[in-house]
């Protein structure tokens, strides 16, 4: 991470990078909801028909690959492109950043998520909430909360491990960070999208939850009951990955 940038510049980079994830990645989820055929049988929470719209799971995964990967290239040399409170907490826990910087990063990430959602509502209208549920994550029907928690733990573990390998380890191949990290996100969506929603990221889940509450989505209270999954799972996965990578591969 470059020391030539001010904390304000780094905060803006974190804001814009997280904005990208929510606007382009989660935006693809919302559009998929909005284009589900009218005769599709309704599901639970905001999950009716997800993956059956015009974009589908493949499109959602590809959208996230680029929504995450490109900001890594754009902002990696400015802020480190954490774009995720779980990543920031893992770097703080291993003393890679100080407390003030970590708090500013997390606030910037949450603001980026909220503003991206508001921008999407402004462009597409309140159907983004009433039908699209702002792309909020929740365990799919038949999935227990503990199963969703384990899914979030595993996929974020591999995300953080990839960040360490591609972006932190000085021996990593050059110019692969964005593609590698984005690809891990896409793999996680393919594997666990219809299990936990494949959040990886507390800001990605909390932003839609907050906007659903503000705009009065009828299932917002049920969604908040699952918020702990998308906080505990990603943070625990990121912490284990960063400590494991440090001990096994950076402890020369």
The structural domain count of the chain equals 1
Residue 1 resides in a domain: no
Sign of the Cα torsion 63, 69, 70, 74 reads positive
What is the extent of the structural domain holding 97? 7-249
Residue 243 resides in a domain: yes
Give the number of other CB atoms < 10 A from CB of residue 224: 15
- What confidence score (pLDDT) does residue 103 get? 98
pLDDT (average), residues 218-247: 96
| CATH number, residue 214 | 1.20.1080.10
Lowest-confidence segment of 13-27, 29-43, 92-106 by average pLDDT: 29-43
How far apart are alpha carbons 68 and 91 in whole angstroms? 18
Whether pTM exceeds 0.75: yes
- The answer to whether 18 touches 108, Cβ cutoff 8 Å, is yes
Residue 201 resides in a domain: yes
Concatenating the DSSP letter of every residue in 146-174 gives HHHHHHHHHHHHHHHHHHIIIII-TTSPT
pLDDT (average), residues 25-51: 77
Q: Is pLDDT above 90 for 37? A: no
DSSP assigned state of 139: P
Q: Is pLDDT above 50 for 44? A: no
Q: Is pLDDT above 70 for 1? A: no
- What confidence score (pLDDT) does residue 2 get? 47
- The answer to whether 233 touches 153, Cβ cutoff 8 Å, is yes
């Amino acid at each position: 991470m470059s020391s030539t940038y001010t904390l304000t510049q780094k905060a803006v980079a974190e804001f814009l990078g997280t904005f990208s994830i929510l606007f382009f990645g989660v935006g693809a989820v919302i559009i998929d909801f909005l284009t589900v055929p009218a005769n599709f049988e309704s599901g639970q929470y905001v999950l009716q028909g997800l993956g059956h719209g015009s974009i589908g799971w493949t499109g959602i995964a590809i959208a996230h690959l680029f929504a995450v990967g490109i900001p890594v290239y754009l902002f990696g040399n400015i802020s480190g492109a954490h774009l995720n409170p779980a990543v920031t907490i893992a770097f703080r826990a291993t003393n890679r950043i100080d407390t003030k910087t970590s708090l500013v990063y997390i606030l910037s990430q949450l603001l980026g998520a909220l503003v991206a959602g508001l921008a999407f509502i402004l462009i597409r209208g309140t159907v983004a909430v009433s039908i699209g549920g702002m792309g909020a994550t929740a365990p799919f029907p038949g999935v227990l909360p503990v199963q969703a928690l384990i899914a979030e733990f595993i996929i974020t573990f591999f995300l953080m491990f990839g960040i360490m390998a591609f972006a932190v380890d000085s021996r990593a191949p050059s110019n692969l960070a964005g593609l590698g990290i984005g690809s891990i996100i896409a793999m996680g969506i393919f594997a666990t999208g219809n299990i936990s929603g494949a959040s990886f990221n507390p800001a990605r889940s909390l932003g839609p939850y907050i906007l659903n509450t503000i705009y009065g989505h009828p299932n917002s209270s049920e969604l908040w009951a699952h918020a702990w999954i998308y906080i505990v799972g990603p943070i625990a996965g990121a912490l284990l990955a960063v400590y494991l990578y440090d001990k096994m591969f950076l402890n020369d």
